Chain A
Amino acid sequence: MTQTPILLVLLLALTSAAYYFGCKRAFRVADGKIRKLHSLPGYYGLYVALWAALPALLILCAWLLFQGSIITRMVVSSLPDAIQQLGPDRLNLVVNDIRNLVSGNIVSGEPDAIMLAAADYYRGLLSVSRNMLFAIVLIVAGLSGWYGYSKIRAQHRARNGVESIINWLLVACSTVAILTTVGIVLSVLFESIRFFQSVPITEFLFGLEWSPQIALRADQAGSSGAFGAVPLFAGTLLITFIAMTVAVPIGLMSALYLAEYASARVRAIAKPLLEVLAGIPTVVYGFFAALTVAPFIRESGGFLGLDVASESALAAGLVMGMMIIPFVSSLSDDVINAVPQSLREGAYGMGATSSETIRRVIFPAALPGIVGAILLAVSRAIGETMIVVMAAGLASNLTANPLEAVTTVTVQIVTLLVGDQEFDSPKTLAAFALGLVLFVVTLALNFVALYIVRKYREQYD
């Protein structure tokens, strides 16, 4: 891949040349009188340059994206039938070994002749592909640049041309967001469907036992693996619930206090400080939960005569609640500030105290917005990963006791996918099914929350 930068530099040079000649030609067709041209000469240059660069860049990107998988497929089909007959996971290992041979890394086991041949073939294909890429990109750039160049006339609307190209570029950029969503949906959906082919969806959604170990030998005890995700959902809900019981009262009360009571100075200091909590990476919270909070809870539990697991749901939930405080408070703050001043004055003007005004007028008026904010916070808590990975347990445990260890959806996704696994086992596919559930739930929560908040805003606009 080291040639790609060289190719890019060449392409850049070609583009600059295209710009230069485009400008030159514009001057020439106008006999040096810019007034005769439809657009400024620079636009003619840009027009040619864009023609030269864009198609070539497009080809380059597509090539680089697909080159790997195409070459792999060709190499695999060149392998002896005996190897091709292997199961998908074994074949994957072989392909990995070939790739490692190509890049000169350490290989598992002694490479045999077939492997070496395949690696040579792979290397050959790679260099052919690179050379072809070089040639094709440069030729395409030259041709399309020439096409742009040949279109230059005095009355050619170069500016409009350039602008419509830019417009299409902008459209393409704004579509990336859609493509991302489509990508997410398709990737989790396809893998989930494959998962549900081996594990029935009802068992996944309603099963009470989760132990995703797949045995190495078929006759091993517990070889089947159980994929009932209810304990994970329950664990996620338990931790989310603990987090919300911490974050909602504290976040809401601080938002109300800072918005309605605090002096300008206190507000100017306390508000940004609270928001710092939101800027701290979750891995830091995870570390804090695992090394400071969990032992503390365990010890104080022992002091009270309670048996606390070393990875208790309470520790993870508590720290997650800390993290979400600023989320709740700043969203509520927006909502509270959107309550019109006239309502406050109406209450004050009749002799309501501040707390009566807040509880009886501002809070009910802001309630829909606050509910939206809390839903957003819940969706955030459900999707939070690092805190629970580091501070909640791995063992699935169907319990409502916050002092016990529970595991969550995100924890299981991480444990199933981190490390070297075959990609096609139900174990890894289960992670995608969990991802699908996570995505659907958070999406639904966000959707409802954003809808409520928007309706609420409209009410006072």
Chain B
Amino acid sequence: MTNPGKALPEGATSFARIQAGMAKRRAAERRFKMLGRIAVSVGLLFLSVLLISIVSKGYTAFWQTQMRIDVVLTADEIDPDGTRSAETLRKADYSSLIKQSMRDMFPEVSGRRDKFALYGLVSNGAAFDLRDKVMADPSLIGTKVSLWVPADDDVDMLMKGHIDRNAAEDDRRIKDNVLGWINQLEAEDRLELRFNIDFFTKGDSRDPELAGIRGALMGTIFTLIVTLSLSFPLGVAAAVYLEEFAPKNKWTDLIEVNINNLAAVPSIVFGLLGLAVFINVFGLPRSAPLLGGLVLTLMTLPTIIIASRAALKSVPPSIRDAALGIGASPMQATLYHVIPLALPGMLTGTIIGMAQALGETAPLLMIGMVAFIADVPQGVFDPSTALPVQIYLWADSPERAYVERTSAAIMVLLGFLALMNLVAVLLRKRFERRW
């Protein structure tokens, strides 16, 4: 560093050097930009592959293959004593009637195994449909009725093309003889894809063709009601205290650090808390939406508190000053002026917290909301499951027909999530205020 004057060549030379390096730098620039583009596209590609794979797997579940069967409602079989009492009608053996009707349709079928396969074409739920029909109108007894009942899930899968008719017989769940019967049924217009109402009105079932999301959906709704009614007031109150009234000291610092850390604690740990404290110490009923709601409340609370504090922060101090200046107490200034102004932001945060709770699965597994429950829960104390848990359960089931149902349940879940986020966005747009 003895001769600084000679360090750089004349301006023109330095400019020439810059020019000479430009091609390389431009190329580097283009490469970098391309990397960025690729990153964004890969992210978007992931999203679209995910959604497309779910929708393409699941949309068929909204239709269900139904079979038209003609059943002779013999009085001897249903009500031998002719009492027509509800009890007798309920207990009658309707499945044997349906078996009979199947035999009537295919008189050539003989042998135990073949008959068993034949009966298997119709869902187990057909007997219940028939029972409901007879109980609603006992005068049908003694007549021959024609009704549409759900077909077995294998038949359904075949009709939807998920089972390849041309595959070798050994690789196919439906054997050749059964395929022949199905072809015959199709030729007689006895098989039809119809809108799958049961999917929305029934609870879980071991038979895929009968399984619906109603039970899980009601469980989720009860859970979310508990969550909302606890976490919103608690979260808002905590936020108001921390933002408006709390003195700045070690204790409030601790609360603040604590809330930020809780927001990032894995959800499964909240499940452990629920199991150890709510079930084992307080003895709350296992598997109940009440319990799920409590656990999810604790989980969503940090989200709501953080969002509510941000909303409170965005209310300018001049509003508080104005209220205090005309003699309102701090509590009055907060209740009558600050909170109403911050409410849209708090609601947005709450909706986002609820969306988080809606999609949460892991803590619910810990507290037993994962059992097979066929009944639709009626209240917050009934054992129940939740929609995401139902998805988990179905995803684990081996039957091919559950795949489409899982996907369909996911579509319903995503639909609800989209709706909630839409509401949050609209709320934010509608009430967004720049001070």
Instruction: List A residues at the B interface (Cβ < 8 Å).
Output: 1, 65-69, 72, 159, 163, 166-167, 169-171, 173-178, 180-181, 183-184, 187-188, 190-191, 249-254, 256-258, 261-262, 270, 273-274, 276-277, 279-288, 290-292, 322, 325-326, 329, 351, 353-356, 358-359, 376, 379-380, 382-386, 389-390, 410, 413-414, 417-418, 423, 431-432, 435, 438-439, 442-443, 446-447, 450
The CA-CA distance from A69 to B50 in the complex, in Å, is 46
Return chain B residues, CB-CB under 8 Å to A187: 272-273, 275-277
Q: Tell me whether B298 is interfacial, beta carbon within 8 Å.
A: yes
Q: Tell me whether B242 is interfacial, beta carbon within 8 Å.
A: yes
A–B pairs, 11, beta carbons within 8 Å: A187-B275, A188-B273, A250-B42, A251-B43, A254-B39, A273-B44, A274-B47, A276-B47, A280-B50, A281-B388, A355-B32
Return chain A residues, CB-CB under 8 Å to B265: 184, 383, 439, 442-443, 446
Return chain A residues, CB-CB under 8 Å to B29: 353-356
Return chain B residues, CB-CB under 8 Å to A279: 355, 359, 417, 421
The CA-CA distance from A257 to B329 in the complex, in Å, is 50
A385:B268 contact, CB within 8 angstroms = yes
Q: Tell me whether B342 is interfacial, beta carbon within 8 Å.
A: no
- A133 smallest CB distance to B (angstroms): 15
Q: Tell me whether B64 is interfacial, beta carbon within 8 Å.
A: no
Return chain A residues, CB-CB under 8 Å to B25: 353, 356
Q: In chain B, what residue has the closest Cβ to A65?
A: B282
Return chain B residues, CB-CB under 8 Å to A432: 272, 276
A283:B47 contact, CB within 8 angstroms = no
Q: In chain B, what residue has the closest Cβ to A444?
A: B261
Q: In chain B, what residue has the closest Cβ to A69?
A: B283
The CA-CA distance from A177 to B259 in the complex, in Å, is 6
Contact with A along B19-48 (1 / 0, CB 8 A): 000000110110111011111101110110
B361:A282 contact, CB within 8 angstroms = yes
A250:B43 contact, CB within 8 angstroms = yes
B361:A385 contact, CB within 8 angstroms = yes
Return chain A residues, CB-CB under 8 Å to B49: 292
Given A163-B331, A181-B262, A287 contacting B406 (CB threshold 8 A): yes
From A184, A283, A384, contact of B391 by CB (8 A): A283
Q: Report B287-317 residues with CB < 8 Å from chain A CB.
A: 298, 301-302, 305
The CA-CA distance from A84 to B239 in the complex, in Å, is 48
B40:A257 contact, CB within 8 angstroms = yes
The CA-CA distance from A135 to B267 in the complex, in Å, is 40
B362:A414 contact, CB within 8 angstroms = yes
- A81 smallest CB distance to B (angstroms): 24
Given A163-B331, A176-B238, A354 contacting B33 (CB threshold 8 A): yes
A274:B264 contact, CB within 8 angstroms = no
Return chain A residues, CB-CB under 8 Å to B164: none
Q: In chain B, what residue has the closest Cβ to A318?
A: B46
B262:A177 contact, CB within 8 angstroms = yes
Q: Tell me whether B118 is interfacial, beta carbon within 8 Å.
A: no
Q: Tell me whether B370 is interfacial, beta carbon within 8 Å.
A: yes
The CA-CA distance from A353 to B32 in the complex, in Å, is 11
Return chain A residues, CB-CB under 8 Å to B358: 281
- B388 smallest CB distance to A (angstroms): 4
Return chain B residues, CB-CB under 8 Å to A280: 50, 359, 414, 417
A438:B273 contact, CB within 8 angstroms = no
Q: Report B338-394 residues with CB < 8 Å from chain A CB.
A: 355, 358-362, 365-366, 370, 381, 388-389, 391-392
The CA-CA distance from A228 to B97 in the complex, in Å, is 58
A383:B43 contact, CB within 8 angstroms = no
From B38, B370, B395, contact of A390 by CB (8 A): B395
The CA-CA distance from A258 to B35 in the complex, in Å, is 12
Q: Tell me whether B117 is interfacial, beta carbon within 8 Å.
A: no
A291:B403 contact, CB within 8 angstroms = yes
Q: Tell me whether B246 is interfacial, beta carbon within 8 Å.
A: yes
Return chain B residues, CB-CB under 8 Å to A277: 43, 46-47, 50
B36:A253 contact, CB within 8 angstroms = yes
B370:A184 contact, CB within 8 angstroms = no
- A397 smallest CB distance to B (angstroms): 21
9 residue pairs, one from A and one from B, having the closest CB atoms: A383-B266, A257-B36, A281-B359, A68-B283, A187-B276, A253-B39, A170-B241, A355-B32, A173-B237
Return chain A residues, CB-CB under 8 Å to B240: 170
Q: In chain A, what residue has the closest Cβ to B28?
A: A355
- A391 smallest CB distance to B (angstroms): 10
18 more A-B residue pairs beyond the given contacts A254-B36, A354-B33, A383-B268, with a C-beta to C-beta distance below 8 A: A167-B245, A173-B234, A188-B269, A281-B417, A283-B388, A284-B359, A284-B413, A286-B395, A291-B403, A354-B29, A380-B264, A385-B266, A386-B392, A390-B396, A417-B272, A435-B268, A443-B265, A450-B260
Return chain B residues, CB-CB under 8 Å to A358: 32
Q: Tell me whether B151 is interfacial, beta carbon within 8 Å.
A: no
Q: Which of A72, A176, A280, A356 has the most CB of B within 10 A?
A: A176
Q: In chain B, what residue has the closest Cβ to A288?
A: B50
- B424 smallest CB distance to A (angstroms): 10
Return chain B residues, CB-CB under 8 Å to A292: 49, 53
Return chain A residues, CB-CB under 8 Å to B42: 250
- B268 smallest CB distance to A (angstroms): 5
The CA-CA distance from A176 to B26 in the complex, in Å, is 57
Given A69-B283, A274-B43, A438-B269, A355 contacting B33 (CB threshold 8 A): yes
Q: Tell me whether B410 is interfacial, beta carbon within 8 Å.
A: yes
Contact with A along B200-244 (1 / 0, CB 8 A): 000000000000000000000000000000000110011011100
B47:A417 contact, CB within 8 angstroms = no
